[in-house]
Structure 1
Amino acid sequence: MTSVAVIGGGISGLSAAYYLSKAPHLVNKVVLLEGSSRLGGWLQSTRTEEGAIFEHGPRSLRVAGEPGANILGMADDLGLTDQILPVLPSHEGAKNRFIYAGGKLHKLPSNFRGLFRRYELFANQSPALMGLREPFVKGRQEEGDESVHSFFCRRLGKQFTDNAIDPMVRGIYGGDCRQLSVQALFPSIQQAERRKGSITRGLLFGPKKKESPLKVDSELLKKARQERWALWSLKDGLEALSNSLQEYLMKSGVELLTDRRVETLEFDTTNQVVQVNTLDEQLQVNHVISAVPSQCLSQMFAGNHPILSENLSVNPSATIGLVNLEFSGSVLPSEGFGYLVPSGQPERILGAVFDSSIFPQHNRPNSATTRLTVMMGGTWFCEQFGDPNEVDTSLLLDVALETMSRHLNITSSPLRSFTTIQKDCIPQYTLGHTDRLEQMESYIAEKRLPLSLVGCSYRGVGVNDCVLDARKAVTNLLKTHERD
């Protein structure tokens, strides 16, 4: 293998090119093709002339687990250590999270003692009591996938599911937990029940997690663990991460091509060659890493590989409307990460993030202000606002301001606002997603297609998930090439 084309210039594609550039002895040419005029995908940050930072996509990254460790290693390697803004678990912006239901904010448990308190949100029950009952709930007898809503209703009850799990899924995926796969969204929890008949018993007494072969030796990671970071961002916003990746790739000799929409892919499995066709040119490489949404990739087969194409096209994607607001002074009723709204509430928003509480370093440097982001739409976007290609963004702004007035008693006019519609930005892992993914991977292996699938369409929608997925795909590709 001497050449690889990466299709898609979001964080997944940039990460795949980054890891490929680390193996010049195996890959002597890497080309990245992006259909739009910019790289970075959903990582979009704006700095105003007053010095405030606004995020129009992801706004913070977690430290926990293998994905968190891996991306910190990348940040360290890119020289971003001095740019990092860490958030400790004791910080109000990390520990205080709320649910809006019944016309008011409800604070969720933020420490161990809080688990033993009774909450109106959960029918005056304590989360600890619900957890103690869970091991005695009979396990599911049927095989196959199950919706997130059905699973948690069985294990922890409808009240908890509707007021905790449902809004969490809306906040992360912009989706309806009644339609999404528990096997894809919560694999460890679902496997725990399958192993031991209970989430609690499965997590406590199940097999120990295998150590990952992917090692992260990073001083930044050591510091994060010593200081117990919960979240982090960058001084110039998270788009600085994709900008740093671009700079690194250009210095490493990776060819970055924008406005290069790939129309079709033609595979020659005998010679292990792929012809990548854009509107104006053809490129021949030995392998393709696709980092575009699965439905876009499906269209590139031009009628070939129908099994692969059909599985790629199943999952829909959610459109998110984001309204960034900036107000003079301190106007939040409480410091915290923000709040989410259950789907059963008569509201037109998914929730709101208290940006200035989490990262006050992104506020205007010379005056006291409050920044927050209102999220809306998701699976319900068309139902609530109409066609995202035709909706007037002023409607979203009006809904955001009216809702903040009712929910948070913020009645002043904003100093500044940004309204963004991120169309089809979050894939929805519907029932059967994991089985379809396995079928696709088996098909690619059986047909010996020189193709790897990465990105948020497959194994996680978070930035950390996408970066780690890209690393694993490149690692597997290089190992295969070394064996051959």
Structure 2
Amino acid sequence: MTAITVLGGGISGLSTAWYLAQKVPANVSIKVIEASSRVGGWIRTDRRHTPIGEIIAEAGPRTLRTGKSPDALSVLELVDDLDLRSHVILSDAQSAAARNRYIYYDGTLNRMPSSLSSLASGLPAAATCLVGGVWRDFTRKSNTPVENDESVHEFIGRRFGQKVDDNLASAVMHGIYAADTKDLSARALLYPFWLADRMGKRGVISGLRKVARVSRARHAGRSVESVDGERRARNPEFWTSVDGASMYSFRGGMQTLPDEMAKKLRERPNVEISTGSKVVAARVGATGKAQIEVDGGRVIESDHVVNTLPLHSMQGVFGSDQTPMLDHTPYSSVVVVNLTYQGKGRTPVDGFGYLVPRASQHESRALGVVFDSCALPEQDTCDVTRVTVMLGGPRFKELFGSKDVEAEAKLLALDTVQRELGIRGDALDVHVTVGTQCIPTYTTGYVDRLQQMHEWTKRQLNGRMSLVGAAYGGPAVPQCVNHARTHVCDHLNLDTLSQSPQCVSGLEEIIKAFDLPA
């Protein structure tokens, strides 16, 4: 019997198992191995009881983006296939949450422009540096370094000036990666701009048109991503409503997605999901197949292994054969504090929330704050205002050190919303989640290490292992889901798994995206 093992039961592992289950016949065994007691990884929704009713608290991602990108469509189609349409709650593209996003700068909330028309009212104080930054890039001669990579901080400072990084870019990277721009790879995270800097005669702006031409040439002949007509015809109301939305979640919270996936997978007789099983070793057995050993001594033999484990969990699993990616990919730790207050509309402005840039670190100790009740009001079943404060990331040691993290985070979060939002009085509920090593940091030199990881992976387990996960194609839920989909559907030859090694890494499409144009 052909056997496939998926390591990790987070969103990447579950998505991989889901697409495998759609593709392989019923006589192919699919095993999902998860170290913790639950599936879903960092997607976690907690139901909390307050004196006036039940509320939900998201410990991880809280919304998903709509749109026509392959990443966004992969999740929407998954939601459709799981019959979760009636559970979806949408945020209209014209809603305050979609249009109003802020940066905390100089002690105030600065609303960022959301469209060209919104520029008519002028730039907020945090963004005035953009004018000088664009002019600087346009007028300054090319000063591209010889090295293949540099930090986001160095790249933006070199071309647009330090203030653009301190006031804006650092805030964005706090929100996505919970990391400092001084540590993040410009080539990996700002690739179109990094490439434009190399192709333009006078810097980034002069090169963007050339980058656009290269992109069009690369994608010539490909159709624009869209929902196929048959799918849309089956559920026209759902897809029409999605077209007018900017983001969405579920009435019961984000955990609805992995829970439903796991439920439907468990209904299949050829799928087994094992929680509480930590992978301790991986090797090649006497038959030439892959063997995965979990704590307790159980050994699972497989024709192919899809590894979705975080890189820090892979240390030591493959013996002494290491690769630089394992040692040079740190993970950020983030503390999420969900605060619930009685009464609606307690935030001073309507919007999705705000991020805190490096320039404001002397004023605020948060990475950012999300206005949950404004973003997704349908999730509130009682008269409350919910906000979430994110702490830690590059300041984790500075803020918490050897302190009781949960107790200190509670104090910091309550102080943050009182000083920065003016929300006073006792909170109905405070829920603290410590996300230790939860987001991979794509450090300088990442793309070169990814190529090395690609070659290393093809050597492992006799060519019977491939990779999917947040450390490769991006940490967002849609990126993880689409990575799983493209790997299973486009790169694994499921008909020959038992006969011959696949010798694919799972990183082919990602590496291709970073190829330099001829």
TM-score (norm 2): 0.85
**Equivalent-residue separation in structure 1 for 2:370 and 2:291 (angstroms):** 44
For the 8 Å contact 1:61–1:232, the answer to whether it is kept is: yes
Give the number of aligned pairs: 475
The answer to whether the aligner puts 1:194 opposite 2:210 as a matched pair is: no
Q: Which letter does structure 1 place at the counterpart of 2:14?
A: L
- Alpha-carbon shift at residue 223 of structure 1 (Å): 1.8
**Which position in structure 1 is the counterpart of 2:415?**
402
**Which residues of structure 2 form unaligned runs of 5+?**
501-518
1:411 equivalent among 419, 424, 431:
424
- Alpha-carbon shift at residue 478 of structure 1 (Å): 2.6
The answer to whether the aligner puts 1:43 opposite 2:54 as a matched pair is: no
The answer to whether the aligner puts 1:441 opposite 2:457 as a matched pair is: no
The answer to whether the aligner puts 1:331 opposite 2:346 as a matched pair is: yes
For the 8 Å contact 1:192–1:203, the answer to whether it is kept is: yes
CA 1:433 to 1:272, structure 2 compared with 1: closer, same or farther past 3 Å? farther
1:169 equivalent among 159, 168, 173:
173
1:391-433 residue CA offsets vs partner (Å, 9 max, x unmatched): 2412111111111111011111111110111111001110111
CA 1:215 to 1:114, structure 2 compared with 1: closer, same or farther past 3 Å? closer
- Higher mean C-alpha deviation, range 59-68 or range 153-162: 153-162
1:59 equivalent among 46, 57, 62:
62
- Higher mean C-alpha deviation, range 219-228 or range 20-29: 219-228
CA 1:27 to 1:228, structure 2 compared with 1: closer, same or farther past 3 Å? farther
- Higher mean C-alpha deviation, range 227-236 or range 163-172: 227-236
**Which position in structure 2 is the counterpart of 1:459?**
473
**Which position in structure 2 is the counterpart of 1:24?**
24
Between the two proteins, what is the percent identity of the paired residues? 32
**Equivalent-residue separation in structure 2 for 1:108 and 1:215 (angstroms):** 29
For the 8 Å contact 2:96–2:351, the answer to whether it is kept is: yes
For the 8 Å contact 1:276–1:282, the answer to whether it is kept is: yes
CA 1:266 to 1:422, structure 2 compared with 1: closer, same or farther past 3 Å? same
State the secondary structure of the residue aligned to 2:458. helix
**Which position in structure 2 is the counterpart of 1:342?**
357
Q: Which letter does structure 2 place at the counterpart of 1:177?
A: T
- Alpha-carbon shift at residue 24 of structure 1 (Å): 2.0
1:87-123 residue CA offsets vs partner (Å, 9 max, x unmatched): 1221101110111121111111122123355435347
State the secondary structure of the residue aligned to 1:255. strand
Q: Which letter does structure 2 place at the counterpart of 1:33?
A: I
**Which position in structure 2 is the counterpart of 1:76?**
80
**Which position in structure 1 is the counterpart of 2:260?**
244
CA 1:430 to 1:143, structure 2 compared with 1: closer, same or farther past 3 Å? same
Q: Which aligned segments of 4 or more residues in structure 1 are displaced greater than 6 angstroms?
A: 212-215
**Equivalent-residue separation in structure 2 for 1:465 and 1:166 (angstroms):** 22
1:83-482 equivalences in 2 (<5 Å): 83-115=87-119, 118-122=122-126, 124=128, 127=130, 130-131=133-134, 134-139=137-142, 140-196=144-200, 197-199=203-205, 200-208=208-216, 210=219, 211=222, 217=228, 218-219=231-232, 223=239, 227-253=243-269, 254-267=271-284, 272-280=288-296, 281-303=298-320, 305-306=321-322, 308=323, 310-329=324-343, 330-345=345-360, 346=362, 347-365=364-382, 367=383, 369-387=384-402, 391-445=404-458, 448-479=462-493, 482=496
- Higher mean C-alpha deviation, range 416-425 or range 197-206: 197-206
**Equivalent-residue separation in structure 2 for 1:88 and 1:206 (angstroms):** 34
State the secondary structure of the residue aligned to 1:426. strand
**Equivalent-residue separation in structure 1 for 2:99 and 2:71 (angstroms):** 21
**Equivalent-residue separation in structure 1 for 2:2 and 2:141 (angstroms):** 55
State the secondary structure of the residue aligned to 2:471. coil
TM-score (norm 1): 0.91
Q: Which letter does structure 2 place at the counterpart of 1:417?
A: V
CA 1:52 to 1:8, structure 2 compared with 1: closer, same or farther past 3 Å? same
- Alpha-carbon shift at residue 327 of structure 1 (Å): 0.8
- Alpha-carbon shift at residue 247 of structure 1 (Å): 1.0
For the 8 Å contact 1:276–1:283, the answer to whether it is kept is: yes
- Alpha-carbon shift at residue 204 of structure 1 (Å): 4.3
